[in-house]
Structures are given as C-alpha cells and as structure tokens.
Structure 1
Amino acid sequence: MSSINKPASLSRATRCRRPVVALATTFGLLALAAPSLAQQQSTFDYWQYNREMIQRGLQAIFTCNGLFVSNRTLEQVFEQELAYLPDPVGTANSGAYVVDRERRAVAIGRPDGVPVMRAAFREGISCIALAPDQTFDDIDSLPELGAPPLTGDPARIAWPDGDMVEDAPLPAVIDQVALDAASDWAFDRESPEQVTLSLLVVHGGRIVHERYAPGVTMQTRTRTWSTAKSIASTLIGMLVDQGRISLDAPLGFPFLPEVAAGEHDPRSNITLRNVLNMSSGLYPIDNTNLELATGSGMAYWAGESSIEQMRHRGLIRQPGTYWDYENYDTLLAVYAMKNALGDGYHEFPRRALFDRIGMRNTLVGMDRFGDFIFSSQIYTNARDLARFGLLYLQGGVWHGERLISEEWIDFVRTPAPSLTDSGNYYGGQFWLVPDDRTDVPKDAYATVGNRGQYVIIVPSHDLVIVRRGLDYGAQGFDRWDLTREVLKAMPN
C-alpha cells in the first residue's frame, strides 16, 4: 500500500508546482536568485515631482521675503538669497517668474507639469506660501496681523528698548585690536560659501561692536531659520511658568491617524519635554533626505498645513531616549502652545515678548491656515536678536520685570538626557558647548539657524554675540570658533 500511496502524494505535489516551474522557465526566471535586502535599492527618485515643486516654492518665498521684507533688490536676491538653490529659475534680468510689486507677491515657473508656485507678503507676518492650486486672486484670503506698531520713534529711544546708542569709547577692559580682528575673521572668510551679513557684540548690556556687509543696514530683516526654535521655546516657557502647560505632561492632542475609540495610542505619552529635547521617538522625515520633498518642506514652501503631517508619524522609539533633530518636533510643541492659548494665540508673541523688549522689527511667519511656522520662519534684524540674547543674559529679567523664570533658562541650558553619551550639545531648543570643546566657556549656549544665524550667550563674560549670514552650499561657519575669537578681546 505504501508503494502505491507515495507516488500518488508526489504526483499531487508535482501538479502544484508545475505551473510555476513552467512559467519561470518560459520567461527565463528560474535562474534568478531572490534579491537580498541590500540589493533592493531604488535608483528612481519617486519624489522628483515634489522636489521640483518645492524648489519653485523655495524660490517664491526667498524672492518674496527678500524684496518685501528685507527690502533687497532683485539683483541682491539672486546673488545671495537664491545662492542657496542649486538651479534657480531665471536671472535678475528675466526668466519664468512674475514679481507683482503692487500685490507684493511672486510667482515662479510656468505650468509645464510642475505647478507654478506663489508667495505673497501679508501685514505683520512676512510672505506666505500659496498652495499649488491657488493664484494671486486668493491672496486676500490669506491671514494677516493688523496690530499697530509700538509707539515712539526707536531712533529716539535708548538702547536696548530703542536704537539710540551712545557714541562713547570702548571700556578699557576690551581689546579694540582683538575685537576688530574677530570681526575681520567673521567677514573675511576663506570659503566663498560663507557670507556674513552682520556681526553685533554686546558686552555688559552695551553694543561694543556692530558691522554690516555692503547692501545691509541696521534695519535689514532676514530669515532666522532655526533660531526661531529658540524663540518658540521662550514663548512656551512663559506658558510653563504661568502653569498653563506642563513640561512633563503629555502634549494633550490626538495624533494621526487617530486610533479606534477605547484603544491606547502610545504617542499620547510624548511630553513637551520630549519634543523640546528633540527626542519625541517619532519617525523622522526631515533628516531622511525628504526635507525638500515632503515633511515640513511642504508647509514651508508649498502651502501645506504645518500641523497636519507633523501629527501623522508613527512611534519608533521610546520617547526621551533618542535624539533626532526634526522640525516637526518643534511644531508639535508650538501646537501645544496654540491649544493652551486659544483665541490669544496670534497676539501672544508680540504681547508677551517682542513688544516688551523692543523687538519692533520681528515678523513671525505663518502657513496659509494661520498657524505660526515657529520652527524656521521668523524674519528679523541683528539688533532684535541681540535684545533676545540680552534677555537671557540678564537671567530672564527686563527692566526689573521677570519675563522668563530661572528654572526655564536652566531647562534650555540642560543637555537632553538622550545625549548623555553623545556630547551633550543640545538642550531645550538651544545648542550647548559640546563636551569635546575646551576653548570656550562651558556656560555658553546659542540659537542656531541654517545659513549661519547665531545668537551666542556667554554668561561668564557678560556677552552676547549675534552673527547673521546668507551662507550656502556646504556652509560650515562655526559658532564656537566665532565665540573663541571674540573672547580674545574680552577681559578674563
């Protein structure tokens, strides 16, 4: 019986395999081995369409803000603002773009398969990116802030609340020659990709050095990039000080996609501390070669919402255990701030901070839905950033009034727990002196923005340094090297 049953069993198995074998033989697939994971690398850029769209959106925002916020010429915009782009559309003389000076708006590109991308200036905000399906006819639907400016002429108000600076000799303890040498070090760069626009040094609350590149003035506002994160952290800290939000409580809003009713979403355990420490544990997007294809770039440059996709990430690590620099983590904290403020959200930055310390030249960018893009998009000048640094240098006090607590300053200067074994170089949306730097004081800390935007605070030397740049390409201007050079002029 067994000699009969075995062939029958084999015959059944053979019938099951035969069609596959025949098909493989027919198409010559039988000899192909299954590819390993290492071989499964795609060479096609599936994000190419998005990248081209965002490239145009970048140019629209840079051009719009360069012209209508920074008050630069189109020639200056192409020479410096757009030097950051690998292949800008057109030249300063002509090209496939439109500058509508009456509407203070810009359109980049032609309808050639990639959308025409547009940006428009809005009062009190700076330029807003329109969606690909919007035109200049939609400009009036974009948000704007119409709050009146601070009263008084800043030229007649003494520094730091205004811009009137006493013309007096430097204190004898400051080495003028060494300070000038530090300034030359900042401006006369060996790398043509490092373009210093301004350098401002405040010692003992007094401006002791101020220098601008040709074509730049004290009033010139440029993009802060991620220095905005430190400003956002300050505003959030004010709410923590008031007890309106908690550093160690969950963020308090649903993530996307939302879990079914009654189920627990592990992302609901993420705290404000986690996201301010860049340690949310959520899947990263911006630092996986997708920043200029999707992620925050869609809100920055393409008119997408800044609060939707940031909540649409899965948890891949335990919150607080892994440091991963991500624009979306900052925006999660800003969303928590928005929910805490309610109707006072749009007025809060000026009312709570800017107006109180004389930051008259500062504009906070928004997406087209009215949400602040506090991870990057603030436009301001060197003096306003010096005022911001001075607030921290003075321990959070301005003219005897406490604006931020010492506890919050301690938090932003404390290394993220996730960096204990990696150099301790980041705190609460401020950058810290790495463990391996021994040539600058360990108590120094700084805001850092792309293209060389730095506010460096050195409490032990009663010092604030502001450097604004339009670096491009590889960049590489080192903030701690600048600190070292300026300290050569300061008393020990």
Structure 2
Amino acid sequence: MKRAGGAIRRPFSFVRPRLGSCHMKNAILAAAAALALTSPSHAQTAQHQLDERYNRALAAGYKALFLCSAIANAEANGTTRTPESVHEWELTGIQAPLNRIVRDLPYEIIRRPTGQIAHVQVRWDEDMPDRLAVFDGKDAGCSVPPVGAPPGLSNPTAPKPWEREEREDARIPLGLPPGPPPSLPSLDAAFSDKYGNGRTTAVVVRVFENGRVKANYARSAPGFSRYTPQRTWSVAKSIAATLVGAAVHRDEIDVNDSAGLGVDESDPRRAITIDHALRMASGRYSDTPGNRTDPLYWGGTSVEERAQDWPLIYTPGSVYRYANNDTLAAIKAIEDTFANHPPADFFAEIGMTRTVAERDWRGDYVLSSQVWSTAWDLAAIGQLYLNDGMLWNGTRILPEGWVEYVSSPSGPQPEGRPFGYGAGWWLMNSSEGVPSDTFAAFGNRGQYVVVVPSRDVVIVRRGEDMVGTRFDIAAFTRDVLAALE
C-alpha cells in the first residue's frame, strides 16, 4: 500500500461480482451516487457553501469595523454617531455580496467602565467566536483581529487610551472671515440629484489668497457636522503619498529607492521602487480589478501577509494597474520613519487634528483606505498643496516640487478612464471646464478632495454613495469654480 495525499491507497484489482440482477442494480445506483459526490455540480455546491460562510465572516468583520470606527472616532472628536446612523449611511448600499448579509447580523457594543468603546462584536456563526473590531485609542482608531480571535486580542503596537499622552487640540489658524459662512448655490446642488444620484454628507469649499483663507463655504447633511469623521477610502492613498513626501523632505527616503519587496536582492521584485508603487506601476499581479483587499480590510489578515508577496508579471514602471497593494507597499517601505514621525503627529502639524490612520491588528497602517477624517480636515491637506508644501507660518514640510511630482503623469496611465494618474493623486487635466492643473484625491462611495492651484481653491465632497450610483465631481468642480468668478 502507498500513501498519497494523506490517505492509504490500496492496490487496484478487478474482481468480477457474483451478484443477482437486483443486487447488481443496487450496486450500480450506489456507484452512481458516489460518482455524483465528485461531480462538478457537487463541487460547485460545496464551493458555494464555503463562499457563503466566508462572506458571512467578512460581512461580520465589515459591520464590526464600521460600527467601531464610526462611533468611537466620532466620540474621540467630541461628537456622536448612533448605530442607527451607521446602518443608514455606512452599512447601506455596499458592495456585493456583503450588502445582502451585513445589516441583519446581530451585534453588541462593549464599553469600558469609563464609557469608552472597548470593542464591537458581531455574531455570524453559532460555532465560531463573534467577529471583533477593537478600539485601540484616539490616535489609532479600530482594528480587526483575525476570524476566530477572542476578545482581548488587539493591535500590539497601538497606544492604549490609558497610555496615550493627551494631544493639545489646537487647530492651525486659518484666518476665517468672521460671521456665518456665505452661501454658494453649488453647495446646495450637491445635496440634490444634479450631479448624480449619490448621497452627499458634507461639502467644504475654501478660497485662498496669499496662503490665507479668503472665503469658506460649507454645508453638512443632518447628523453630520464639521467634527464628524468618515472613512476616506482611497483618499487615503493621497494622504499616504503626502506622508511619503514628508519623509523625502526629511531626507529619510528617496522615491527612487526600492520598496523592499521580494525575499532578497536576487528577487526581481526588489526593482520595484517607491515611485512605481505610488504610480500604481509595480507590475505585480492582483486578483481583482481595483484589487479588492477584503481579507485585509474585513477578514483580519495583515498588510504583511496579504499585500507584500504578489508575483511580478510586468516590468516595473511599464503598466498601470490600480491596486491597494501598491500603496500599502509604499507605506511599508517608509514604516521605519514612523517611530519618530507617526502619522498622528503629521496630521496635528497641518491642522488635521480630527483624523486618524487606522492599522491592521499587527500594527501596520492600512493607508490604502482605512483613514477616518472630516471634510474640514481634508480641506487642510488641500491647503498644504496649494501652499506648495508649506504650513501657514512658512515652515516647509513637503519638498520643493512635490506638488508637481504628485500631479505629473510621468508613469503609465489608466486606459479608458476620464482621469489620469500621478503619484497617489488623480489628474483632472482632461475634464471639460476645469483648469488643466487640477488634481484630486478620489475615494470609494464619493470621497473627493479637489485641488485647483491656478484658482487657489480646494473643494471637498464627502458622501456615502451606494453601489451603482455616482457623483459627477468634474461637473461639480466646474460649477463651483464658475460660481466663484
């Protein structure tokens, strides 16, 4: 006998059966039934059952994380969100197949004696532990442990609420004109169906002059205020590029440095640079268009195990393919700089004091998507780019020429799309009625930060658009700029 695949394989022998016709018929039926168990239809059924179970686990992680992040980060900002509000906005109209599962999963919000959220748990299976999202503190937000993790397992590097030094909440003076913000008809139109059938939650338009705010326009949907954070989704990629720029300015890295992918110097992936990663041109394979990273975002895997090891299929720098993994690789390449320059300190320095970059459960930043910020804070990062990387007081924190670098289409470009791509920022240089120097951060569900250097204008639109809907950011930008003339 030989062992194959963990089973004992017995030598095959043919023995003619000595059975009557009835017994023979039963034997044939039994053999047919056994064959059916290995047929494609049975395999598809087994795979379907497996996928359904996996989707429930992902949906539970999705729900736990959004309840945790939306509520805990809002409370850290001095405001509130309710579970009902999160169900109405963040948990409605999400991607398939999670959309049909997520809302009905039972959940529980566990708080510490101080009233602060400890974790959120969501029931998804009777035989498995609840899925968890753990609040790791004001500067860390929430993280998702692996499927099957018990309560108490959390990000090992996150500052716990009782360990964190209180940060002074001093916003950078913006020189805002006194009195209530003036009216701008285009802002009201953003909450109608003029620009599509999206669901707008907040709009901020800032006009600058000599580095100071000349006019400020803002409006929020009911239940949202200037202190209400939302997930940025892929706007985080532009924030990631900004953190890379800060490290370049401090002479800690160069964008032409290797991103450190691959096992050693003999690995061809070592040729992928930080610039390649920022420009979505690493040449690596990714399994879905847009590179959905559900196992990392909702499944509790880590950046290290999910994003770093994909194989190379094109020469680095030759092909554009939008991939979360590339931004994650760029941030992983500069992670050593975060010990002395954590993102929270950078956010505070530029006035984004109500923004938090969340991490995976092992402590790596998920800066492809998992940042929670307010519309007002995102306007501050737009202001930084209008000021060519300098703070309001003249202190430079991004390199000279960084604005030109991120807004330059020097790498391979997306095909069949109305927008080009720079280094972590989208380009609106082909949008009708929009100045050719306009660049923007785009995020899922309608998150936009539009920077128009020639007009000294920043436009922020936040939304919770449902799958299959859209918001025409180019038309909105055009109309806002026309209204400001």
- Tell me which of 110, 125, 135 is aligned to 1:121: 135
Counterparts of 1:128-139 in structure 2 under 5 Å? 128-139=143-154
Counterparts of 1:176-195 in structure 2 under 5 Å? 179-180=184-185, 182-189=186-193, 194-195=198-199
- Tell me which of 408, 426, 431 is aligned to 2:426: 431
- Tell me which of 372, 378, 388 is aligned to 2:371: 378
1:107 aligns with 2:118: no
- Tell me which of 349, 353, 367 is aligned to 1:356: 349
Compared with structure 1, are the counterparts of its residues 51 and 404 closer, same or farther at alpha carbon in structure 2 (3 Å cutoff)? same
Q: CA deviation at 1:243?
A: 2.6
Q: CA deviation at 1:417?
A: 2.3
Q: Is the 8 A contact 1:461 1:490 kept in 2?
A: no
Counterpart CA distance in 2 for 1:459 and 1:480 is: 16
Q: CA deviation at 1:122?
A: 1.5
Counterpart CA distance in 1 for 2:272 and 2:119 is: 39
Q: CA deviation at 1:169?
A: 7.9
1:221 aligns with 2:236: no
Counterpart CA distance in 2 for 1:226 and 1:241 is: 24
Counterpart CA distance in 1 for 2:368 and 2:338 is: 20
Compared with structure 1, are the counterparts of its residues 270 and 83 closer, same or farther at alpha carbon in structure 2 (3 Å cutoff)? same
Partner of 1:279: 281
- Counterpart secondary structure, 1:84: coil
1:76 aligns with 2:85: yes
Q: Is the 8 A contact 1:193 1:473 kept in 2?
A: no
Residue 242 of structure 2 aligns to which amino acid in structure 1?
A: T
Q: In the comparison of the two structures, how many residue pairs are matched?
A: 424
Compared with structure 1, are the counterparts of its residues 90 and 269 closer, same or farther at alpha carbon in structure 2 (3 Å cutoff)? closer
Partner of 2:107: 97
Q: Is the 8 A contact 1:68 1:104 kept in 2?
A: no
Counterpart CA distance in 1 for 2:152 and 2:169 is: 36
Q: Which runs of 5 or more structure 1 residues have no equivalent in the other structure?
A: 1-18, 20-25, 27-40, 171-175
1:53 aligns with 2:57: yes
Q: Is the 8 A contact 1:89 1:108 kept in 2?
A: no
Counterpart CA distance in 2 for 1:169 and 1:236 is: 34
Partner of 1:148: 165
Q: CA deviation at 1:228?
A: 0.8
Compared with structure 1, are the counterparts of its residues 343 and 150 closer, same or farther at alpha carbon in structure 2 (3 Å cutoff)? closer
Q: Which runs of 5 or more structure 2 residues have no equivalent in the other structure?
A: 1-13, 15-27, 29-42, 75-79
Counterpart CA distance in 2 for 1:315 and 1:416 is: 21
- Tell me which of 331, 335, 339 is aligned to 1:334: 331
Counterpart CA distance in 1 for 2:169 and 2:229 is: 20
Compared with structure 1, are the counterparts of its residues 153 and 142 closer, same or farther at alpha carbon in structure 2 (3 Å cutoff)? closer
1:479 aligns with 2:466: no
- Counterpart secondary structure, 1:468: strand
- Counterpart secondary structure, 2:409: coil
Compared with structure 1, are the counterparts of its residues 421 and 287 closer, same or farther at alpha carbon in structure 2 (3 Å cutoff)? closer
- Which structure's residues are more often helix, by fraction? 1
RMSD (Å) for aligned C-alpha atoms? 3.0
- Tell me which of 134, 137, 159 is aligned to 2:174: 159
CA-to-aligned-CA distance 1:313-362 (integer Å, 9 cap, x gap): 111111111111100000000010114x2633xx42133x2122221101
Compared with structure 1, are the counterparts of its residues 116 and 192 closer, same or farther at alpha carbon in structure 2 (3 Å cutoff)? farther
Residue 355 of structure 1 aligns to which amino acid in structure 2?
A: A
Compared with structure 1, are the counterparts of its residues 55 and 396 closer, same or farther at alpha carbon in structure 2 (3 Å cutoff)? same
Compared with structure 1, are the counterparts of its residues 152 and 270 closer, same or farther at alpha carbon in structure 2 (3 Å cutoff)? closer
1:456 aligns with 2:460: no
CA-to-aligned-CA distance 1:54-108 (integer Å, 9 cap, x gap): 11111111111222223311111111111034124455xxx62222133432111
- Tell me which of 400, 405, 413 is aligned to 1:411: 405
Counterpart CA distance in 2 for 1:150 and 1:101 is: 23
Q: CA deviation at 1:133?
A: 2.2
Partner of 1:196: 200
Partner of 1:247: 255
Q: CA deviation at 1:363?
A: 0.8
Counterpart CA distance in 1 for 2:122 and 2:414 is: 45
Residue 108 of structure 2 aligns to which amino acid in structure 1?
A: V
Residue 201 of structure 2 aligns to which amino acid in structure 1?
A: L
Compared with structure 1, are the counterparts of its residues 96 and 480 closer, same or farther at alpha carbon in structure 2 (3 Å cutoff)? same
Counterpart CA distance in 1 for 2:248 and 2:44 is: 46
- Counterpart secondary structure, 2:334: helix
Name whichever of 182-191 and 214-223 sits farther off: 182-191
How high is the sequence identity, in percent, across the aligned residues? 32
